[in-house]
Chains A and B, each alone.
Chain A
C-alpha cells in the first residue's frame, strides 16, 4: 500500500562546469511511495523555488525509460537501487521513511558536469558519427524482404539495439570505459547483412574515436552490464573485440 515518507537528500550542486561544487542537504516531507524518483526531485524543486532558491538541474525527458536522457547516480548505483530500469522508472517504494539518499551526477572524465546533476554526453554522439551507421543514402535501396535474415540474428541484433545511450555503463565502470555502448552499436549492425558489409571499417573507426575521446580500457568487470537499464550483455563487447582484431589484422 502507498504511504508517505520523509527523506534527507544529499544532492550534488555545481553552478557551472568550472565551479568546484559540493553536496547540499535537503529535507523533503510526505513523499508518496507511489511517486517516481524524478517526481521527488520535482517536489524538491517546487520547495526550493518557493524558498526563492535555484532548483536542482537534472536531465530528464520521456519519463518512461526509453529516451536515455535521465541519469543520476543514486546511493551507489547508476539509475538507483532497482534492476533494469532508468531513474525515471525508479519509484519511491524502494526507499524507507527516514532514509538518506545521495544523488550525484555521472562521474567520468568523458562526461564533464555542466550544471548540478547534468553532464555533457556529446562524446556518445561523436562515437556514433565515427561509424555507428550503415552508409546508405535515402532512396535507391532494395526491397525490405530482398535479403532474409535469420530470426536469431535479428533478435540478437535487437537486443544490442535496445541501448538508450544514457551512459550508465560509463558511470558504473571503474575505468570510465564506453565499451558497452560502442559494442552494442557495432554488434547490432555487424549481426545484420546490411551492416556486415562495412563492419570492419565501422569497428576500427568507432574504437579509434572512443580512444581519442579519452574513455578508458575495458577490464571485463561486467559492472556495466549489471547497471545497464536495458540489460545489454557484455557478449557484445567480445564481438566488438573480435570484429576489431580481425579487421586490424587484415590491415
Chain B
C-alpha cells in the first residue's frame, strides 16, 4: 500500500479521489448558495448557513475538506514538477499542433493556481470573518426555523455587502469560468484515473463532466452577479 502512493498511478489516484471529493463539496456549496437568490432578505439562507455551521457532521467534514484541498494542491504541484522533469528541457521549435486536445486538459496547473489565488481571497472574505475575526455585519438576526424563532449569524448581510463591490463580482465571475474549465477536464479525468472508464463510458463521462462543470462554474458566477445587480439596497 505504501508503495502504491509512491507510484505514478497511486499519486494520480490521490489527485482523482481528492478531486471527486472536492466536486461533491462544490455541489453542496452551490446548493446552499442558491438560497441567496430567494428574495426574503436572506432569512432562508441564514437559516441554512446556521444549520451548516452547527451540524456535527459538517464539523467532521470541514477538516477533511481542508485536507482534500491540501492534498489536491500539493500533489498537483508535485506531479507537475515531476512531469516537467520527465518532459526534459528541450522544447519543440515547431510548437504543439495536436488537434482535438482541450486547452483545459493541457493547463490544469495554471487553472489550479488561479483557483488557489481565488480561494485565498474567498476564505479571507468569508471564512476568516465568520470563524475567526468576526464582522459587525454578522450581528445576530432572528429567523424562524421550523416555526421556532432562532438567533442566527447574519451571513447574508456580509455576502450581500461583499458583492456590492464591482471588482469582487468580476473576480468571482472569472473564477467561476476558471472553475468550469478546470472541472471540464477534472471530472472525466478523475474517473479515468480511478479506472472507471472505457470507450463507451468516456463519451458519457465527458458529456456529464461538461454539464456539471459549467453548471457549477456558471452557477457560482451567476449568484455573485445577480447579488450585485438585483439584491443591493
Q: Which B residues lie within 8 Å of A222 (CB)?
A: 100-101, 105
A16 within 8 A of B: no
Q: A109's contact among B1, B12, B87, by CB below 8 Å, is which? A: B87
Report the separation of the CA atoms of residues A107 and B87 in the bound assembly, to the nearest whole angstrom.
Answer: 7
- Whether the pair B198, A238 counts as a contact (CB closer than 8 A) is yes
Q: Which A residues lie within 8 Å of B97 (CB)?
A: 75-77, 81
Interface residues of B in 1-42 (CB under 8 A from A): 1, 3-4, 7-13
- A-facing mask of B170-210, CB < 8 A → 1, else 0? 00000000000000010011001111111100100000000
Q: Which B residues lie within 8 Å of A233 (CB)?
A: 199
Report the separation of the CA atoms of residues A222 and B79 in the bound assembly, to the nearest whole angstrom.
Answer: 17
A125 within 8 A of B: no
Q: Which A residues lie within 8 Å of B7 (CB)?
A: 207-208, 211, 244, 248
- B-facing mask of A218-249, CB < 8 A → 1, else 0? 11111100110000011101111111111011
Q: Which B residues lie within 8 Å of A240 (CB)?
A: 9
Assess A217 versus B93: contact at CB under 8 Å? Given A233-B199, A239-B198, A241-B9. no
Q: A107's contact among B88, B192, B196, by CB below 8 Å, is which? A: B88
Looking at the assembled complex, report how far the CB atom of A195 sits from the nearest CB atom of chain B, in whole angstroms. Answer: 18
B82 within 8 A of A: yes
A194 within 8 A of B: no
User: What residue in chain B is nearest A81 (Cβ atoms)?
Assistant: B97
Q: A174's contact among B13, B87, B189, by CB below 8 Å, is which? A: B87
What range describes how many residues of A lie at the interface? Answer: 35 or more
Assess A226 versus B82: contact at CB under 8 Å? Given A218-B8, A245-B9. no
Q: A177's contact among B4, B83, B94, by CB below 8 Å, is which? A: B83
- Whether the pair B105, A176 counts as a contact (CB closer than 8 A) is no
B95 within 8 A of A: yes
Q: B87's contact among A73, A176, A207, A243, by CB below 8 Å, is which? A: A176
Q: Which A residues lie within 8 Å of B193 (CB)?
A: 218, 220, 241
Report the separation of the CA atoms of residues A214 and B99 in the bound assembly, to the nearest whole angstrom.
Answer: 27
A181 within 8 A of B: no
- Whether the pair A207, B94 counts as a contact (CB closer than 8 A) is no
Q: Which B residues lie within 8 Å of A172 (CB)?
A: 96, 98
Report the separation of the CA atoms of residues A107 and B93 in the bound assembly, to the nearest whole angstrom.
Answer: 11
A51 within 8 A of B: no
- Whether the pair A176, B83 counts as a contact (CB closer than 8 A) is yes
A73-B92, A218-B193, A242-B196 known; 19 other A-B pairs, CB under 8 Å?
A76-B94, A76-B98, A104-B92, A107-B91, A107-B92, A109-B86, A109-B87, A172-B98, A177-B8, A177-B83, A207-B7, A217-B83, A219-B83, A234-B192, A234-B202, A241-B13, A241-B193, A251-B1, A251-B3
**B→A interface (CB under 8 Å):** 1, 3-4, 7-13, 79, 82-83, 85-88, 90-102, 105-106, 108, 185, 188-189, 192-199, 202
**A→B interface (CB under 8 Å):** 10, 23, 73-77, 81, 102, 104, 107-110, 172-177, 207-208, 210-211, 214-223, 226-227, 233-235, 237-246, 248-249, 251
In order of increasing CB-CB distance, the 9 nearest A-B pairs are: A242-B195, A76-B97, A216-B86, A102-B94, A176-B86, A175-B83, A109-B88, A216-B83, A241-B195
